[in-house]
Structure 1
Amino acid sequence: MIKKGMRRQIVLHYILVVFVALLLVEVIFLLAIRTYYYDSVYSKITTHISTAEEFLKYEISGERSPNQLQKVLDFFSMDYTELEVLSTSGDILTSSTGFQPDRTITTSDVPEAVGGSIGRWVGRQAGTNESVMAVSKLIQVSSRDKYVIRYLTSMERIDKDLLNLTLASIGIGAAVMVIVVLFSFGLANSIVKPLNNITAVSAQMAKGRFTARIKGNYRYEIGDLASTLNYMADEIIRSNQIKDDFISSISHELRTPLTSIKGWSETLISGGYDPEETKLGMGIISKESDRLIGLVEEILDFSKLQQNEMKLSIVLMDIKVVLQETILNIWAKAEKKRIHLVLECEDTIYIKGDPNRLKQVFLNLVDNAVKFSPEDSSIVLSAQRLSASEMAVIVRDSGIGISEAHLSRVRDRFFQVDALNGGTGLGLAISQQIVELHNGKLEMDSELGKGTQVTVILPLTEERPTAPALPENGYE
């Protein structure tokens, strides 16, 4: 007995489907053969009746004669078939066997013949219980005399042949079912064995052994499943590695400012420093505190985005004003590397968005451009209409660029092209999600050694400010 499971279900369902199909085919085949044989007998008798009737018209005169019934027997007699001549009421008048039993035929073929058609009846002969077919036809012998001729033929030989054919069909069907059972076991094993292997490897993965792999060249959906699980394990390993790198990186990022803050705090507490040194120390503490706040806020923003908890304050805004503020915020950092910031923007391009969040996006993009651009270079920040429904903000630099291998992953969370430059690896991931919350797209195009271009595509709005004048920050 097969134990419960997919193998058992496949075998049973396959056997059931084939068995039902085979049963239907055999039943239809046997019924068709039986109908063919029975119809052949019926057709032969009716053809003989038609032929005999043609001769009867010329051989028997219109007058009644003593040997009239005998002539009917002679004309309509048929080998291996009993012929009975009946009255229209079903009484037997004579028969080809010479016996004239005093009885009335009550089978359905006689009323059908009297009604004008050729009657047919198949059943068991009374007394002998023999399988027979009766075919009856009303004939006009003279202007006054009508008889029902009734042929009675045994169907025992045909039924025996049909029985043998049935037994042969059952034997063939049984042989087919044996082959089907063997084939179904093979089919079930070809499906279940790979699944058992996949299940075993998946159990190892569930225990944290992500180096385990599903081996075997499986085809179709099972092959796709195996490839997907192997790919999932690779991605988990990669994600874990990125997470570990992130923890290491963020630990370093947090330790550096904390070390500076702690060192200068202890130094200032000890006292004995002039105002200039004290001012320098307090400046470093303030700067490193801001850096810590920035790191923590970046992590919090990413957490909110992952949990769909970030809320946008959507207002009608002029994108040019946001870009101007972005340049002002990043100008000091660019000035240290003698990088020239260029703003190219039409006079007014209005969109609906959260100015603070979009400013966060543009600051991140320009900050990255400054970070990876050489000294005495330029960064262009431009805004332009693409169509009646879209506009684009483009950040273009001539920095070190990004390799093709890294370009597809640079927007992944925790991923850093150059870990030595610091950061959490969350900036671009956060920026992309903020842009998507504005129903926009963030696209990147870069070539190693030639620079990078980042394009933020946002939907335009037809609305315009209704107030007499915009506030100084350019937002409503």
Structure 2
Amino acid sequence: MIKKGIGRQIVLHYFIVVFVTLFMVEIIFTLAIRMYYYDTIYNHMSNHSIWASDYFQKFVRLNAERDPDYFTEMLRTFELDNTELMILDRKGEVKASSNAFQADKAIQTSDVPQAIAGNVGKWIGRQPSTGEPVMAVSRPLQIQGETRYIVRYVTSLESINAKLLNLTFLSIAVSGAVLALVTLFSIGLANSIVKPINNIRDVSAQMARGKFDARIKGNYKYELGELAATLNYMAQEIVRSNQIKDDFISSISHELRTPLTGIKGWSETLTIGGFDPEETKIGMGIIAKETDRLIGLVEEILDFSKLQQNEMKLVIGPVNMKELLQETMLNVWAKAEQKHIQLKLDDNTEEPVIVSGDANRLKQVFLNVVDNAIKFSHEQSWIRIVISRKNQYQAIVQVADTGIGISEESLSKVKDRFYQVNHQGGGTGLGLAITQQLVELHHGEIDIASELGVGTTVSVTLPIMEPEELEQSEGETGKL
């Protein structure tokens, strides 16, 4: 007995489909073979009745119907084995018969009226006296177009029905064997599906309990193979995400501890007192600097949280990309000067590029991109920022450096949250993840191309503001 589940459903569905199919085939086969046998018998008797009719017509022309031995001659000439030949009059009374036991009353079966009407009559039924199944074929014997007598053949169907019954039993046995084989096959098929599903279910249950090192083993095909591969990939990604999260917690803890240690140390030192104004100023400057660093870390985490929860609100308006990038360069100029890095802005457009977006958030995007370029560039190198039109509707900003570059393995993960190419470089690993989501909120795209040891180029594509939108925006600004 197959236990309740998908396996039983598969077997049951196969069984029902095959059973219904075999049942219909069995009915069609039985009817077809019965029709074939019955038609063969009918055609055989009908042909002999035609010959008897022709024989009768031949002797009619010679007035042989008056010969009292005429019917006896017909019976002897056209008699069939295991078949009774009868000559009837229009009333259905037997005038002559090949059977020694003649009926004592007129025959009124449906074949007789049909023959009287000039047609070939056929009747299948049971003999009133014996109950035996028979077939009767009657044909009119006409004189000058008028039916005078009827030639009637009657044969027993008992042996034929017995053969048909045997054939029916045989076909049922064959159908039963086929149904049994199909059931066995469906059980095997069901097991081939259910066993992998049970295996996948068990491993999935382990994953649900936190055992992400569990893997689905087995070379499964088609959708089951795809499902197993997907679950294994999911577990692998969860393990990787957990590792990245752990690295993030470790990194952010370090990032928070360093400024807090500086703030706490200088606070305690300044509390003791006894320092000259210059030393006090240096200490307060360090406290302010580390406080700004903490604020930056917290704001980065808050921005990421807002983006994850779709709570980031943008103040959309026209943004001049050249002016925005110039402001960005001024903000990072001091940091670039410390490493003697040259920043260069190239505008390859004839007209100002105006995009629709939130100026502060777009500035945050390019600050992060340029800041990363500075962080991972060599001293006395250069960073080039290029503005150009990708097409009529899009502008592209490229930030290219000649820094350390990114490996091919890290390049596919660099925009993932918490991921850091260099864990010693500091930060939360959220910068590029936030940058990508901010660009996507502006209906743009960000692409990173890099070669290890050669440099990195970050391309940001943004939609250009339509002239109608620009005019509408300027009009609303004028009203204000």
TM (normalized to structure 2)?
Answer: 0.92
**Structure 1 residue runs without a partner (length 5+):** none
| Residue of structure 2 equivalent to 1:65 | 66
In structure 2, relative to structure 1, the CA distance for the partners of 1:401 and 1:141 (3 Å cut) is: same
| Residue of structure 1 equivalent to 2:128 | 126
**Structure 2 residue runs without a partner (length 5+):** none
The total of aligned residue pairs comes to 473
SS across alignment from 2:137: strand
Distance 2:473 2:242 in 1: 55
Deviation of 1:214 after TM superposition, in Å, equals 1.7
Choose from 414, 419, 425 the match for 2:429. 425
| Residue of structure 1 equivalent to 2:213 | 211
Choose from 320, 323, 332 the match for 1:321. 323
| Residue of structure 2 equivalent to 1:49 | 49
| Residue of structure 2 equivalent to 1:30 | 30
In structure 2, relative to structure 1, the CA distance for the partners of 1:468 and 1:38 (3 Å cut) is: closer
Choose from 286, 291, 294 the match for 1:292. 294
| Residue of structure 1 equivalent to 2:162 | 160
Distance 1:128 1:197 in 2: 69
SS across alignment from 1:169: helix
TM (normalized to structure 1)?
Answer: 0.92
Amino acid at match of 1:305: L
Q: Is 1:10 aligned to 2:14, yes or no?
A: no
Deviation of 1:49 after TM superposition, in Å, equals 2.6
| Residue of structure 2 equivalent to 1:361 | 365
| Residue of structure 1 equivalent to 2:105 | 103
Amino acid at match of 2:124: V
Choose from 332, 343, 356 the match for 2:334. 332
Distance 1:115 1:298 in 2: 106
Choose from 314, 336, 349 the match for 1:312. 314
Q: Is 1:452 aligned to 2:452, yes or no?
A: no
| Residue of structure 2 equivalent to 1:301 | 303
Distance 2:209 2:59 in 1: 103
Deviation of 1:155 after TM superposition, in Å, equals 0.9
| Mapping for residues 70-219 of structure 1, pairs under 5 Å | 70=72, 73-74=75-76, 76-219=78-221
Amino acid at match of 1:59: F
CA deviation profile, 1:62-82 (whole Å, cap 9, x unmatched): 745253544554565333211
| Residue of structure 2 equivalent to 1:466 | 471
| Residue of structure 1 equivalent to 2:399 | 395
Deviation of 1:23 after TM superposition, in Å, equals 2.2
Do 1:93 and 1:100's aligned partners in 2 also have CA atoms closer than 8 Å?
Answer: no
Deviation of 1:471 after TM superposition, in Å, equals 12
Do 2:384 and 2:399's aligned partners in 1 also have CA atoms closer than 8 Å?
Answer: yes
Amino acid at match of 1:319: M
Deviation of 1:408 after TM superposition, in Å, equals 0.6
The answer to which of 224-233 and 154-163 deviates more is 224-233
SS across alignment from 2:467: coil
In structure 2, relative to structure 1, the CA distance for the partners of 1:411 and 1:54 (3 Å cut) is: same
CA deviation profile, 1:92-123 (whole Å, cap 9, x unmatched): 44333254434343333333334443222222
SS across alignment from 1:466: helix
In structure 2, relative to structure 1, the CA distance for the partners of 1:101 and 1:125 (3 Å cut) is: closer
Distance 1:143 1:113 in 2: 13
In structure 2, relative to structure 1, the CA distance for the partners of 1:428 and 1:48 (3 Å cut) is: same
